[in-house]
Amino acid sequence: MLALPDPDTVEDFLDNAIGVLHTFGITAVVLDHTPRIATTGPIDLRVIGVVIHVRGDIAGVTWQFPIAVTRQAASVFAPDLELDPGILEAAASELANVLTGRGLIALESHGLEIEISPPQITPTTRAGVTGRLTTELGAIVVVFHRRTSGR
Amino acid sequence: MPTAVIVDDSPLIRVQLRQILSHIGVAVVAEAPTGDHVHALYEQHHPDLVTLDIVMPGKDGVTAAIELLRDFPAARIVMCTSLTTRDKIVACQRAGVCHYLLKPLDAARAEQVFQFVLQHASMAAARSAP
């Protein structure tokens, strides 16, 4: 299968993410029940972008976290650390890793087979299907990227 | 004092694990960001516990666990990962890892698991002592 996740799959993936975010003390709800199509472009400087490259039915997943979300995640991972930019990027990376890793079960249950790679900070996002969560700390965006050729 | 090696590519998770292990009196003798170093670190330190992430640059945690347990069957490994997919869990079970902790880590739960694993390790060592 070389397809992007359908709306049901995105919704299940986001539901999974909501459960994980709750463990970080972040309350989130799905913002759009109909996923949008994202285009390639730069990520807003007020958010931290993290891409997770994927082997399998999609090419990758990019998360966009508001700074306040990464600050909250960092304070849960390591409450005693000073929250400098490096720590915030590390927190965003690990948050993306956890959200994607835990969300794989939702993708698998809809027939998508993928294996994730370690997260990387990214200033841009590629085209794909977008899911959005709203939280009290700002909107979290996830983009599923289409694989342009075979695996 | 029991000892541990932490293998995780996230510096934040390494900090978190160090704090959890320190809280239960475990000395972290080495850390690494990739599974490539697990074998050498185990040979050097012979820790009572190894924590392993799965998705890392270089050698992944499942491969590292399989290789480590092949050469050191008494190694006590706890996987610390966000992956809940069946194939990974089964692969870890088959490799012989002791436990599978899910991220985000719950500190109290992680402490329980580490203490359980360390107690069983010391019981096994006592049984095998002459």
DSSP state of A115: E
Largest alpha-carbon pair distance within chain B?
Answer: 42
Residue A16 maps to a domain: yes
Residues of A whose CB is below 8 A from B57: 118
Residue A2 maps to a domain: no
CB contact under 8 A, B55 and A76: no
A113-124 pLDDT, tens per residue?
Answer: 888 999 999 998
Residue A150 maps to a domain: no
Q: CA-nearest residue of chain B to A115?
A: B55
DSSP per-residue letters across A33-62? SSPEEE-SEEPPTTEEEEEEEEEESSSEEE
Look up the ipTM and state it.
Answer: 0.85
Residue A105 maps to a domain: yes
Residue A123 maps to a domain: yes
Output the average pLDDT for chain B.
93
What range does the domain containing A78 cover? 7-145
CB contact under 8 A, B13 and A94: yes
Residue A151 maps to a domain: no
Q: Is B16 on the interface with A (CB under 8 A)?
A: yes
Number of domains in chain A: 1
Residue A43 maps to a domain: yes
Residue A1 maps to a domain: no
Which of B16, B57, B106 is facing A77, going by the closest CB pair? B16
Residue B93 CB partners (closer than 8 Å, separation 6+):
none
pTM for the full model? 0.89
Residues of B whose CB is below 8 A from A24: 104
Can you give the CATH number for the domain in which A78 is found?
3.40.1550.10
Q: How many CA atoms lie within 13 A of A84 on its CB side?
A: 3
Q: Which amino acid is at B79?
A: M
Q: What is chain B's length?
A: 130
- In the structure, what pLDDT confidence band is assigned to residue A34 with cuts at 50, 70 and 90? confident
Domains and CATH numbers, chain B: 3-128 (3.40.50.2300)
pLDDT at A151: 44
